[in-house]
Structure 1
């Protein structure tokens, strides 16, 4: 076996593992998943065709698994809570941006004139939840011009309480100490997110 073949085998194995992780997350279409793999492994020689060949059987495998899932999953409950929060004037975004910094920077762009606050989890949070580590939620109030830091913190705590109430009403278990500086953790959480249709 040549070194090139060994490298291709290793890259393929890594790409398959990464594809499984992204499929477990459940937010990307099959073609988006293939694009993500190419973005990550193109320098190692992975082509678009390779990526599609990797994704297709894993996608079918996941669809088959979904047939045995309960009618309502924890992710369905999470979505129910986020929908309820949206109805209450809280911007609620799932799998939003790559990281917390980008999420905080961009969440205001999702707000309407009457939005009071926000809650989101980002792509790294999704991957952590899909790996069985619970889900961290970032939240806060939209700060008004000239508003004091203390007032903004009170508003953030109010939004945090609304988020916790919506999650618990949907049947999820939450850990949060009431501090505006602490993320809300949904745990235990069984991450079963159905693939996009």
Structure 2
């Protein structure tokens, strides 16, 4: 399998198993990827195989969900983020692909939700989700909106507390410039509820 095909296959797996995209959204993303990468890679990219993989991934995820617990670690993460939002910490799920993208996503979220309502932030990017899908846990980035180290430490404590309250087991070295890690988190995010509506 060449690099382009490997990358494309990884994208399909991520879009399906991340839980952040409906079937129609994934189909649109895959069509765009095939158009872009296919023009670059020519015959090296097998579009039919990717569409077949997409069907297989959806089937596999649907079957897996039948055995998931009623309350998954991703549900717990959502609960923690909701708690943090109520305490003045702007939280963003799936914030771009990289940590750098995440800061941009936080800025946009603050603009939409009203920056005056928050003093801190917390997020994880798509890159972190990919690691979580591979069983490597989830890293969370946090901080103070004014880059104050003392207040960033306070944000870190809040993040830690909210995660523990939600039933997760975070690790953090106590340094405001460090990230919080959820080493035992199992990534099980339910397919979005509008999945079937998107298929009708």
Say yes or no: TM over 0.5.
yes
CA distance in 2, matches of 1:61, 1:69: 13
Task: Report the CA distance between 1:109 and its aligned residue.
Answer: 2.3
Change in CA separation of 1:27 and 1:106 when aligned onto 2, cut-off 3 Å:
closer
Q: Which runs of 5+ in 2 are unaligned?
A: 194-200
Q: Which moved more, 1:104-113 or 1:159-168?
A: 104-113
Distance in structure 1 (CA, Å) of the matches to 2:100 and 2:8: 27
TM-score in terms of structure 2 length: 0.80
Q: Give the superposition deviation at 1:129.
A: 0.8
| CA–CA distance in structure 2, aligned partners of residues 178 and 14 of structure 1 | 36
Distance 1:109 1:21, change over 3 A: closer
How do residues 167-186 of structure 1 correspond to structure 2 at under 5 angstroms? 167-186=163-182
Give me the CA root mean square deviation: 2.5
Query: 1:155 — aligned with what?
Result: 151
Aligned length: 182
Separation of aligned partners in 1, 2:102 and 2:173? 22
Q: Does 1:82 align with 2:81?
A: yes
8 Å contact from structure 1 (residues 75, 192) kept in 2? yes
* Cα distance in structure 2, aligned partners of 1:131 and 1:69: 17
User: Matched residues in 2 for 1:35 and 1:139: separation?
Assistant: 32
Contact 1:25 1:193 in 2 (8 A): yes
Gaps of 5+ in 1: 1-5, 144-148
- TM-score with structure 1 length normalisation? 0.81
